[in-house]
Structure 1
Amino acid sequence: MLISPAYAQDAAGGGLALVTQLAPLILIFAVFYFLLIRPQQKKQKEHREMLKQLKRGDRVLTAGGIIAKVTTVKEGVDEVEVEIAPNVRVSVLRQTIGDVLKPIAANDAAAKG
């Protein structure tokens, strides 16, 4: 017989081999968690807090790109009434408000112009 039989090698370092196989997967998960998952959760939490703190008179940017002024905030309801033009008021869902715009101070407006 020209071919000798093949025998499986004995797994002498069984526990160590398992750790070396799982270490790259654990490392990849840790990188994804700290670079992707955690910052996204933090951003979502900040957005929820911003929506809770909406008040009358805030200038907001909706998801549709409309800049509006908050006229009525209804507690316990997901709707906010905003004015998009003089005497034009619409109700929008809180979740569609993307950002609260900061007012431009008079000093900043003069410096830009």
Structure 2
Amino acid sequence: MFITPAFAQAAAGGDTNSMLMSLLPFALIFVIMYFLILRPQQKKVKDHAEMVKNVRRGDTIVTSGGLVGKVTKVVDDEQVEFELAEGVRVRQLRTMISGVRTKGEPAKEKADKSEAKDDSTAS
């Protein structure tokens, strides 16, 4: 009585062009996200894994907690032992290392200060 019958209209013969056009923005968003977000993140993870794998005795490391020390022993594939101060040794997971400086690499702050001193004496 109160309900009127609804009649569906017939489909327009399978227009695939409109379906392709409706899916195109989603495909473009995925491609943009891949090149701007996913690919650089994968490269960063790969570089970090390579850096951590190449840690050896004598390297200066910086942990993700902010501790700086010199590697005294590579325990195994997962751990390194480093010295924070004279006689203070700590074991750390390799994955928690955020930076590695090799034996011969100069400190950036010292290099910047010496360059500034050289420039001021040259004038």
Q: TM-score, normalised by structure 1?
A: 0.82
**Structure 1 position 83 matched with structure 2 position 77:** no
Structure 2 counterpart of 1:110, one-letter code: S
* Unmatched 5+ stretches in structure 2: 1-5, 118-123
Residue 66 of structure 1 deviates from its aligned partner by 0.7
Cα separation, 2, equivalents of 1:17 and 1:90 = 63
Equivalent residue, structure 1, for 2:115:
111
Structure 1 counterpart of 2:96, one-letter code: T
Q: TM-score, normalised by structure 2?
A: 0.76
Cα separation, 1, equivalents of 2:29 and 2:114 = 50
SS at match of 1:71: strand
Residue 9 of structure 1 deviates from its aligned partner by 6.1
Structure 1 counterpart of 2:26, one-letter code: L
* Unmatched 5+ stretches in structure 1: none
Residue 6 of structure 1 deviates from its aligned partner by 7.3
SS at match of 1:69: strand
Equivalent residue, structure 1, for 2:92:
92
SS at match of 1:24: helix
**Percent identical across equivalent pairs?**
40
When the two chains are superposed, the root-mean-square deviation of aligned CA atoms in Å is: 2.2
Equivalent residue, structure 2, for 1:65:
66
Aligned residues: 107
